[in-house]
Amino acid sequence: MSKTYSIAVIPGDGTGPEVVREARKVLDAAASKGGFKLAYTEFDFGGERYLKTGETLPDSAIDEFRKFDSMFLGAIGHPEVKPGILETGILLKIRFALDQYINLRPVKLYPNVDTPLKDKGPEDIDFVVIRENTGGIYTSIGGATRVGTPDEIATQLMVYDRRTVDRCLKYAFQLKKRRNALNPKYAAKPITLIHKRNVLTHCGDLWYRAFEEMGSKQYPELKRDYNHVDAANMWFVKNPEWFDVAVTENLFGDIITDLGAMIQGGLGVASGGNINPEGVSMFEPMGGSAPKYAGQNVINPMAAIGAAMMMLDALGESKSSRAVETSMMAAMKKMKSQAAGRMGYSTTEVGDMVASQI
């Protein structure tokens, strides 16, 4: 009997459904080649549903999601919904409730993909950022008072506990070990902690000590490095080849991974995973709902296909995951650009190209 993986799919808003459709096409091709099955269950959470019913994501949905092997998200965000409602009510709620404590963001420039970095190529831009995904400022501990008056005060605290830091670092060190075994080019580079310990003397110190302790005691064979986040921003642009595995806290990770997306060729190709290594993970393209391109069949599905590739790897189907990547690379070679509307192909055609070569 072939194995069947159950996948909860949230196509979501804007171009979400279009890119999910293409990712599923590729997943199905990979499954039939790889001898396993994928059983999808679609959920209609997103802006449209919220506007109709006033509901973002009920707690009962979280209990449903727990039963799946994995989740796949298109995009959340609607021009008629005030910013913050869908983000916190759907995306962040899922991340927190399912304890998806790792945000895994590969920053890999594929051949024939344009980077805005002059004189940098695929051999220079090939690293992963591990962003802690449940703590920090995103816990939203704090408050506001005298709102709307000249004396208004607002606070939102960066909150970390040792356990949250340690479990994130453990994932990062283990990934670094796996990558080093894969490629001597990776092994030559350090694992880099990114923070701001020259100013954030409490949180930064916690992360730094935890990193040094775990690294020296449990992974002495791995080279370690540390960058302040502002400096890391410069090095991502000037010397991206210095990085292999970079690990950081939540908000810093949010910011530097958008920079990472740009140097790898833009939102059309950037994918991410919200991972609970012991539970249910969720994979998504980084691009957002791109309302101005919705319904035109011009959006690039490559980021969603990349997220599908990551999902297969997380499910343990690493051979199929690699087959998807090879096929993505072949399609990218033919495409004129990775930008929406300028690919030289429609959304559907890009999905067909990748799926047909698996």
Binding site for ligand IPM (CB under 6 A): 87, 91-92, 254
d(C-alpha 354, C-alpha 26), whole Å: 7
SS3 at position 72: strand
Minimum distance of ligand IPM from residue 228's CB (angstroms): 21
For residue 76, the minimal CB distance to ligand IPM (Å) is 7
Q: Which does 91 bind (CB under 5 to 8 A by kind): ligand IPM, Mn ion, none?
A: ligand IPM
**Residue 31 or 256: which CB sits closer to Mn ion?**
256
Q: Which CB, 69 or 249, lies closer to Mn ion?
A: 249
Neighbours of 230 (CB within 10 A): 12
Residue type, 146: R
Tokens for 336? 């004129």
Q: Out of Mn ion, ligand IPM, none, which partner does residue 92 contact, by CB within 5 to 8 A per kind?
A: ligand IPM
C-alpha span between 38 and 2 (Å, rounded): 10
Which of the stretches 46-54, 253-261, 315-323, 349-357 binds Mn ion when contact is defined by CB under 5 A?
Answer: 253-261
Say if strands 282-285 and 70-75 run parallel, antiparallel, or are unpaired: parallel
DSSP code of 110?
P
Give the whole-angstrom CA distance, residue 61 versus residue 259. Answer: 33
Structure tokens given for 161: 């506990």
| Minimum separation from the CB atom of position 286 to Mn ion (A) | 7
Closest to Mn ion by CB, 166 or 254: 254
Residue 87 touches which of ligand IPM, Mn ion, none (CB < 5 to 8 A by kind)?
A: ligand IPM
Stretch that binds Mn ion, among 158-166, 243-251, 252-260, 321-329 (CB under 5 A): 252-260
Q: Pick the closer one to ligand IPM by CB: 210 or 282.
A: 282
Output the smallest distance, CB 249 to ligand IPM, in A.
12
Would you say 249 or 317 has its CB closer to Mn ion? 249
List the one residue out of 271, 280, 275, 269 whose CA is nearest residue 340: 269
Are residues 288 and 4 in contact, defined by beta-carbon separation less than 8 angstroms? no
Q: Which does 241 bind (CB under 5 to 8 A by kind): ligand IPM, Mn ion, none?
A: none
Which of these, 279, 332, 291, lies nearest to 17 by C-alpha position?
A: 291
Residue number of the CB atom closest to ligand IPM: 87
* Gap between the Cα atoms of 105 and 132, Å rounded: 11
Q: Which is nearer to ligand IPM, 152 or 258 (CB)?
A: 258
Report the alpha-carbon distance of residue 206 to residue 197 in Å, rounded.
9
Say whether residue 87 binds Mn ion (CB under 5 A). no
Minimum distance of ligand IPM from residue 276's CB (angstroms): 15
3-state helix, strand, coil in the chain (%, to 5): 45, 20, 35
Residues ≥6 apart with Cβ < 8 Å to 305: 22, 23, 26, 324, 328, 351, 354
Q: How many CB atoms lie within 10 A of CB 282?
A: 24
Q: Is 254 in the site for Mn ion (CB under 5 A)?
A: yes
Token reading at 339: 């930008």
| CA angle 119–124–127, rounded 5-degree value | 145
Q: Which is nearer to ligand IPM, 215 or 260 (CB)?
A: 260
> How near is the Cβ of 288 to Mn ion at its closest, in Å?
9
Q: By C-beta, is 91 or 245 nearer to ligand IPM? A: 91
Q: Give the residues lining the site for Mn ion (CB under 5 A).
A: 254
